[in-house]
Structure 1
């Protein structure tokens, strides 16, 4: 038996030791990855791990080897201090890089669209979050995020634990969970989608009505794709144009600026902190915000704690690759948690599904399928310019499907086929299982 510990913490040796000892007591070998000490690039969001090198990330760092270890493991433990209810940057960078474990093709699961399995076998997964004084919202958000990851990472067994670092009951809880994970007993049921959850996540704080009307907005583009090529930027530019017409000056800031510390990151941070309104326009990466967006928000939070800033409100403008906008709910809740943790007002959220249909083109060119979203951005700009939060009408219009889910699942394979053909990859190769081949000692098939 093998237990892999994906350690996103920096100072929790006791928790790591509890996990290792619990696994060793059951005869398991332990592989511990201290992710804060491992150089990992952020996900580029280009889907080449599905269409150019199916089943493998093309970025040559430690992530492919860690992904192989995850594939081979019996139990994977995700350990992280909670940051705004989600994962710390060190762990989220790796989680974003795990999509080669899944197949690019879609199917319906429990009433919503999900990716198909790439492999016949997946490990059990235990998610452990650490927080000093977690409230009910934090507990609910972490459980929701862990459940979403459990579904999308295809695990047959999962459980989530939320502990305080000094929790006297941590050791027995961890031992019990490790034992259950290695024996596949007492699993937490996979969560069912609550169709009301997105509306709750999008709803603005009542305090929005007491905020001054914003005059400036900074829009954080969360995609790592080149400038001018992402759906997030397309949506951001359409919203910015509406805000400008309503008298709110807008500036685009790119999360890729935060890939490393330095002058570029400092300039981007100053632009985010110098606006009245922060709008986060980002794609969904494995159920949550991309790692670089989390990094930007962490640094912005630290900046706000030290310096006076005009920033008062936060808005989310998210899109995901699934046809249902509901998948964005956890990421929106993380943005709301960021706002509240920093004394800011959550002014509401806008969430869209099937973002790849837009694929970075100006939104007006996609008006045949995106009429509702064009209207939603116009309504949202009017709401913000009038000093109120995002209306339910705008949020509902943004979430309207670009295509019916059944039709999306039917035509989506054509996109993967087209992209693969450009890379010289045959259709049958899209379902390759290189990690299984490597585990079986077939290096030619794994290449």
Structure 2
């Protein structure tokens, strides 16, 4: 075995060589001798906890091996991967022992990196492993929701729900019910994929981000402008709701999109005709995203869309992450997307999901696009407006992302 294949007892510096191993080498070792990887990681983590090795490098190595094992189909590999991120991953391994703001920021970055690894391993397990090999992982019910071991299993249940798997298995059902009783946020989501979620994680060729008015018009029916719509927009009043706005913007802020999303709420004194709920109405609202003509050529437009389209965009924003952020994993992207959809409709958190789907059909949903300096028409732009069933309340959400590397403020 070459020195790139570390075994327990190797020199403390060997994990640097191991970290540079080719993926095919690690995959081969995971398939044929996973216990070697696991035992070596145990030794590496002992060195880190004792201060004898570089924590940041060790954490990267541990994460890389955990993902490789999660991708390798076998009950043993699944168990090793779960144990690594549940028990062995050095807690705050890359954190510095200082008390200034830089140290606080570093610890927060470490926590986020640990969350990303945990969610990545959960997603890989759901995709690669057979359900019968995952079931033993849920044999012991948790006493609380704190800790990586419980969080990993909650994420794994969430990932399985997205692929329509796991429901009806005794151990998984019991664990999910226990999480629900304990109040874990992921456990409040449906254990199976709803019809409105049919597009989540599904990539369709030719249906990427909408960046041009031509693309928008080709996919959705445009709403013609009306003078009465403009009159209604001028008479709209704004309603402040910071809690609702935070939930509405969540998929984009948590996904690290380049600009702070705009989340606003308006009321009109009398019911708005659905024919007047279009770009003429929206352009009269005091929205930051519509201020100024901008340097891009084109006219603002609005098209009718559907709740499943909106939910998919909200999910994608968190799932893929922005150019300045990271993807949040399927389970949490689903949670953030639903939270944003509820905020768009102004629904209380205790409204059942299927009831929310029913109510969504009574709302009017719009996508709109504008060519102002607020939007970038670069990596991704998303803008929605939703009219409630009383036809007197409107929610607006606009977000934009870019890889221009600017330090943008909302």
TM-score by length of 1: 0.25
Structure (1 or 2) with the greater strand fraction: 1
Highest CA radius of gyration, 1 or 2? 2
Q: Which has the higher contact order (CA 8 A, sep 6+)?
A: 1
Structure (1 or 2) with the greater helix fraction: 2
